[in-house]
């Protein structure tokens, strides 16, 4: 559905021209508007929050949370946790309702989040929230530390936003208070304080979102909202992953079999009351040895390394919906098979890796190592269309059958009903 949401621009142009670069407003035509309204509505919203609230026991387990946001009386909005049976009364009282990570309680929304993460190759966290506002209410001026892509589902909402970011790489969210002061939320993530940020200068651009319309805002862009009628919108958010976090995961994968790295920094004596210069000698010796090993690794590594590509792929796959495998059994030659979730499939050429692996077939959050001889079968699986068992050129049937049975057991493939397939082809 992501390609449809970004039409007529398309995913490739979105990545090249707008992702983490500049805002994008895509008005919907009649067909897209009907499709979106059929995809998600108020009834589905209520069922999702009931499931999420019950699963989290009224808290915010696994990220799901249900909150009411009241307009600011003085210096900022007031947010309180609520229960599903309070939603209608609070909306009538003028509060907006925010459901953070609503995709955790709705299968179709979870599939959209996972598809977006894969299609855009997002190594950071991707999730979806939902905002419901009564007419005349919305959110005050603020910017977010992550990019957001909003899909208007119901009613109309006016968005006002800055064409340029207040700050290129914000470390946190920030709110413009009624006094004109910019207030950061939370505490700085590191040792450095939050930088000073000026309030928005000049007039904000204004657009009215109607059902099916899409608005993308990169991180750091000032924006505010106001519902012109009872409004509901879905918001995809994209939390960036720092390179240091990426590097940490790659280093672990490189040295997880090295006992010295796993054992960790040794204990040592320190003398109370003395000024220290650096670290104690045992610590210095340990760190020096590890840095020498790291330097040797870096000198033989480039961005095309298989292990680095595997780590990158695993970050993209985080949070993928778990595929239910069907009972495995013998596969007969000529049986019709297909990939369960083609949009979550990818493959990594691993012929340069050690251990006889030819290709890593990646399906959602699963990674299956296969020998080079099975590359023709991998190509069939990646094709996304039904294929016949045993038709892959150059693969002996015994080897092909064993591999296909593994892929069925792993939930990568499923059997296709011959009658339904024939009816679909003839129709």
Number of domains present in the structure of the chain? 2
Q: How confident is the model at residue 59 (pLDDT cuts 50, 70, 90)?
A: low
* Residue 176 belongs to a domain: yes
* Terminal alpha carbon distance of the chain: 23
Domain co-membership, 328 together with 207: no
Mean pLDDT, to the nearest integer, of 388-415?
93
* Residue 312 belongs to a domain: no
Spatial neighbors of 279 by CB under 8 A, at least 6 apart, are 268, 287
pLDDT tens sequence across 64-116: 999 999 876 545 678 899 999 999 999 999 999 999 999 999 999 999 999 99
- Percentage of residues of the chain with pLDDT beyond 90: 73
Q: How confident is the model at residue 159 (pLDDT cuts 50, 70, 90)?
A: very high
* Residue 185 belongs to a domain: yes
* Residue 219 belongs to a domain: yes
Q: How confident is the model at residue 355 (pLDDT cuts 50, 70, 90)?
A: low
Q: Does pLDDT of 304 surpass 90?
A: no
Q: Does pLDDT of 143 surpass 90?
A: yes
Final residue belonging to a domain, choices 187, 219, 238: 238
Mean pLDDT, to the nearest integer, of 408-426?
77
* Residue 260 belongs to a domain: no
Residue 379 confidence (pLDDT): 93
* Residue 132 belongs to a domain: yes
Spatial neighbors of 325 by CB under 8 A, at least 6 apart, are 408, 409, 410, 411
Q: Does pLDDT of 58 surpass 90?
A: no
Domain co-membership, 227 together with 339: no
Mean pLDDT, to the nearest integer, of 114-123?
94
For residue 296, what are its two tokens? 């040797």
Residue 71 confidence (pLDDT): 76
Cα(38)–Cα(268) distance, integer angstroms: 65
394 is in which domain, residue-wise?
Answer: 319-426
Least-confidence region, from 25-39, 78-92, 343-357, 365-379: 343-357
- Percentage of residues of the chain with pLDDT beyond 70: 93
* Residue 119 belongs to a domain: yes
Domain co-membership, 60 together with 159: yes
Final residue belonging to a domain, choices 212, 238, 264: 238
Domain co-membership, 81 together with 207: yes
Residue 155 · residue 231 · CB < 8 Å: yes
Domain co-membership, 191 together with 323: no
Domain co-membership, 215 together with 356: no
Residue 425 confidence (pLDDT): 55
Q: Write down the pTM of the prediction.
A: 0.88
Half-sphere exposure of 279 (CA within 13 A, CB side): 11
Domain co-membership, 234 together with 330: no
Residue 361 · residue 347 · CB < 8 Å: yes
Domain co-membership, 87 together with 187: yes
| Residue 330 Cα distances to 165, 300, 335, 402, 417, angstroms | 58, 44, 10, 9, 16
Final residue belonging to a domain, choices 200, 221, 238: 238
Least-confidence region, from 78-92, 119-133, 146-160, 351-365: 351-365
Residue 325 confidence (pLDDT): 59
Most confident among 1-5, 44-48, 54-58, 354-358 (mean pLDDT): 44-48
Residue 424 confidence (pLDDT): 57
Residue 259 confidence (pLDDT): 97
Q: What is the largest CA-CA distance in the chain?
A: 86
Mean pLDDT, to the nearest integer, of 19-31?
96
CA angle 235, 106, 366 (to 5 degrees): 95
Residue 143 · residue 229 · CB < 8 Å: no
Q: How confident is the model at residue 356 (pLDDT cuts 50, 70, 90)?
A: low
Residue 222 · residue 142 · CB < 8 Å: yes
Most confident among 117-126, 301-310, 357-366 (mean pLDDT): 117-126
* Residue 308 belongs to a domain: no
Q: Does pLDDT of 423 surpass 70?
A: no
Half-sphere exposure of 317 (CA within 13 A, CB side): 20
Domain co-membership, 45 together with 156: yes
């Amino acid at each position: 559905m992501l390609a449809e949401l970004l039409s007529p621009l398309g995913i490739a142009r979105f990545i090249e021209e707008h992702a983490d670069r500049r805002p994008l407003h895509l008005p919907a035509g009649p067909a897209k508007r009907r499709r979106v309204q059929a995809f998600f509505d108020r009834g589905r919203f209520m069922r999702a929050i009931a499931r999420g609230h019950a699963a989290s026991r009224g808290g915010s387990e696994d990220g799901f949370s249900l909150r009411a946001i009241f307009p600011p009386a003085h210096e900022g909005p007031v947010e309180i946790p609520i229960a599903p049976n309070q939603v209608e009364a609070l909306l009538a009282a003028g509060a907006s309702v925010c459901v953070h990570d609503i995709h955790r309680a709705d299968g179709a929304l979870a599939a959209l989040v996972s598809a977006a993460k894969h299609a855009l190759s997002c190594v950071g966290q991707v999730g979806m929230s939902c905002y419901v506002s009564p007419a005349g209410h919305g959110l005050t001026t603020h910017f977010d530390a992550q990019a957001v892509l909003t899909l208007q589902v119901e009613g109309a909402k006016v968005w006002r936003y800055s064409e340029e970011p207040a700050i290129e790489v914000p470390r946190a969210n920030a709110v413009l208070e009624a006094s004109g002061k910019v207030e950061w939320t939370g505490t700085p993530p590191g040792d450095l304080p939050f930088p000073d940020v000026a309030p928005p200068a000049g007039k904000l651009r204004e657009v009215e979102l109607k059902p099916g319309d899409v608005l993308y805002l990169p991180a750091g862009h000032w924006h505010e909202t106001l519902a012109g009628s009872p409004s509901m919108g879905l918001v995809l958010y994209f939390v960036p992953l720092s390179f240091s976090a990426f590097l940490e995961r790659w280093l672990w994968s490189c040295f997880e079999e090295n006992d010295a790295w796993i054992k960790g920094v040794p204990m040592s004596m320190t003398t109370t009351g003395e000024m220290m210069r650096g670290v104690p000698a045992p610590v210095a010796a340990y760190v020096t040895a590890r840095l020498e090993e790291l330097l040797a690794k870096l000198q033989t590594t480039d961005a095309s390394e298989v292990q680095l590509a595997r780590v990158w792929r695993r970050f993209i796959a985080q949070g993928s919906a778990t595929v239910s495998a069907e009972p495995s059994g013998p596969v007969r030659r000529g049986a019709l098979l297909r990939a369960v979730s083609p949009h979550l499939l990818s493959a990594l050429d691993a012929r340069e890796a050690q251990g006889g692996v030819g290709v890593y077939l990646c399906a959602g959050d699963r990674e299956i190592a296969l020998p080079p001889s099975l590359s023709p079968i991998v190509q069939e699986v990646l094709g996304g269309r039904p294929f016949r068992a045993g038709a892959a050129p150059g693969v002996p049937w015994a080897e092909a059958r064993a591999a296909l049975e593994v892929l069925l057991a792993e939930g990568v493939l499923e059997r296709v009903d011959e009658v339904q397939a024939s009816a679909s082809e003839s129709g």
